[in-house]
Amino acid sequence: MTSSSTTDQRKVLILGIDGGTWDLLDRLMSDGTMPRLAGLLEDGAKGVLRSVCPPLTPAAWATVLTGKGPGGHGVLDFRRTPSRFTPPEGRKREFVSSKLLPRPYLYDLVGNAGRRVVSINVPMTYPPHEINGLMITGMFTPRGSPFTYPPELQEKLGDYEVDLRPGEGPQVDAWLLGREEDVAYESDPLVRGCRRILAKRADAALTLMDEESWSLFFIVLTGGDRICHHLWKQLSDEGDPLFRDIHQQIRQFFAELDAVIAKLVDAAGPDTSTVLVSDHGFGSAARKKVYFDLWLQEQNLAYRKTSAIAALRKAPGNRIARLAVKKLLKLILPARKSIALIQKVGESELDQVTDNSRTLVKSRPLYTGVCGFDLNPDLAAPGSETYEETRRRLIEGLADVRDPDSGERIVEQAVRREDIYQGPFTEAAPDVVAQLNPAYVPVVDPWPGRLVTDLPKPAEGDHRFEGIFALLSPQAVAGTIKPRNLEDVAPTILYLLGLAIPDDMTGQVIREAIREDRIKADPPRRQSAEPGSQDAPAEQPVYSEEEEADIEQRLKDIGYL
Ligand SMILES: [Zn+2]
């Protein structure tokens, strides 16, 4: 370790704003809700930070922690998603955890240089593990499980809460009754929960910042993401008198977030570089569902068993009953929940009626606005002529899939997996990945009827690729910089700490944000990566059955599943 001796005084504070988006923050800064952030940004470099594909919380924070995209860390979803052609016995899917992070990752690199890390609420850090410093875990921490390293830290934290309490999610009852005024009112516990947790997290962070010595301090603030998911419409329709109360409460949350950001930046000291970073942005949720498997059948890339078609013809009653159940689900559940449920049932039902001996392609929805496509390895093995020909045909065809109602193109861009992923987990990704117009969510359903259907109650917000980056530091160049990628964050942090960047990190230092004289005096250094290792994915499962159930419930509470 050349210039990275323990005497190096350089410090970096990473403020993770889960779901941060300039669309919203700019509005809150200009209307006076977040004056301190506005002040801090005046001297900072600011720009759009493009998320990974899919723009999903665990995949994105794993990229910040490793400096690698999903091809480098293998996290594409809340659980590891297998190809749709994987036989049922190979489909057991555990929730993602810190065991999946390829080592050494950011904290190891800082720790190996003799520098200390404090990590608070960063998703993908559970289970807590040894680092040179302290850790409080974040998303995917089961309730009641130890959440700190070292373990004795937990006691010191008193009534700290990792996440919202049960019942602090969106209120299904109001949706059931379809009364928007109730939705506006009932969302109050969500905002109150977010405010309480923000206050506790800030207290813990300020205490640790003061008492501990550290070079890297990384905290993720999550409330904004939860609020944007459920209250995007209320946030956007400022003039609507129906939302006046809830709007005041949301504004209060963001005012408090503003104060917390300012306190943390202050406490970190004037010589610390602060990096503001989101995992993904936000926008309106999808309005329509798209069933790519139906399109694949029309293209003769997928086939149903003839017996299944015959059975359906013979038993129209079953189908009518099923449609009735679906209608009911739509009435009683918010959009995301009904999608998740239909999706779960749909995949196994569709697999049962699919003729795998002839089907070349199945869709693998990754998230709103992102759909993967798995090729049948028995008919089109990677590298074979059929494989490449099928991918070419698929990519070409997807470019022209249109909404039958509006004639609009649904797919913005479809690419081969190796065009967006690099690294050992590229082969676990779908063979083709399509980025959609964000108004569409891909869904698997055996009997969709038509290619596109409307979504019920599309009032919520959902993730977008365009998130936020800012560098607040004496070394920052004030002004707006060009859009950058999430993979660029880890190399930039290592550079700001004066550390070398392993050559297997795929991103680049965000030089445009940093003063030229600083870069000239101390150009970024690369070093060859240490032979990597990843804790073997689960000889011992990370989560017990109860813990799995708890995480699932939490994700349901906040509306993700
Ligand atoms: Zn997120």
Looking at the chain, the whole-number percentage of residues with pLDDT higher than 90 is 66
Q: Domain ranges in the chain?
A: 14-81+90-283+462-557, 288-458
100 has a pLDDT exceeding 60: yes
Query: Separation of 56 CA from ligand 1 center, angstroms?
Result: 6
Find the length of the chain: 561
Query: Separation of 485 CA from ligand 1 center, angstroms?
Result: 16
In the prediction, which pLDDT does 308 show? 60
Band (pLDDT 50/70/90 cuts) for residue 79 is: confident
Measured between alpha carbons, how far is 415 from 71 in angstroms, rounded to an integer? 14
Query: Separation of 491 CA from ligand 1 center, angstroms?
Result: 21
In the prediction, which pLDDT does 35 show? 98
Q: Which residue has the higher pLDDT, 136 or 243?
A: 136
Query: Separation of 162 CA from ligand 1 center, angstroms?
Result: 15
- Those residues whose beta carbon sits under 5 angstroms from the ion ligand 1 are 18-19, 57, 225, 279
168-197 pLDDT, tens digit per residue, is 765 544 444 444 444 444 567 888 899 999
Query: Separation of 508 CA from ligand 1 center, angstroms?
Result: 23
Q: Are β-strands 133-137 and 12-17 bridged in parallel, bridged antiparallel, or unpaired?
A: unpaired
29 has a pLDDT exceeding 90: yes
Query: Separation of 226 CA from ligand 1 center, angstroms?
Result: 8
In the prediction, which pLDDT does 542 show? 85
Query: Separation of 43 CA from ligand 1 center, angstroms?
Result: 27
As a 3-state breakdown, the chain gives helix, strand, coil percent values, each rounded to 5, of 40, 20, 40
In the prediction, which pLDDT does 349 show? 78
Greatest mean pLDDT range, 87-101, 318-332, 338-352:
87-101
Find the mean pLDDT for residues 241-254: 82
Query: Separation of 159 CA from ligand 1 center, angstroms?
Result: 24
Query: Separation of 279 CA from ligand 1 center, angstroms?
Result: 6
Place of tokens 């073997």: 536
pTM of the model: 0.90
445 has a pLDDT exceeding 90: no
In the prediction, which pLDDT does 299 show? 96
68 has a pLDDT exceeding 90: yes
Q: Which residue has the higher pLDDT, 310 or 207?
A: 207
Query: Separation of 280 CA from ligand 1 center, angstroms?
Result: 6
* Burial group, residue 360, by CB count within 10 angstroms (0-12, 13-18, 19+): buried
Query: Separation of 303 CA from ligand 1 center, angstroms?
Result: 37
In the prediction, which pLDDT does 247 show? 83
Contacts of 291 (CB under 8 A, 6+ apart): 442, 443, 444, 445, 448, 450, 451, 452, 453
Place of tokens 């036989």: 87
Query: Separation of 3 CA from ligand 1 center, angstroms?
Result: 35
313 has a pLDDT exceeding 60: no
Find the mean pLDDT for residues 529-542: 66
Query: Separation of 351 CA from ligand 1 center, angstroms?
Result: 31
272-297 pLDDT, tens digit per residue, is 999 999 999 999 989 999 999 999 99
515 has a pLDDT exceeding 70: yes
Domain 14-81+90-283+462-557, CATH: 3.40.720.10
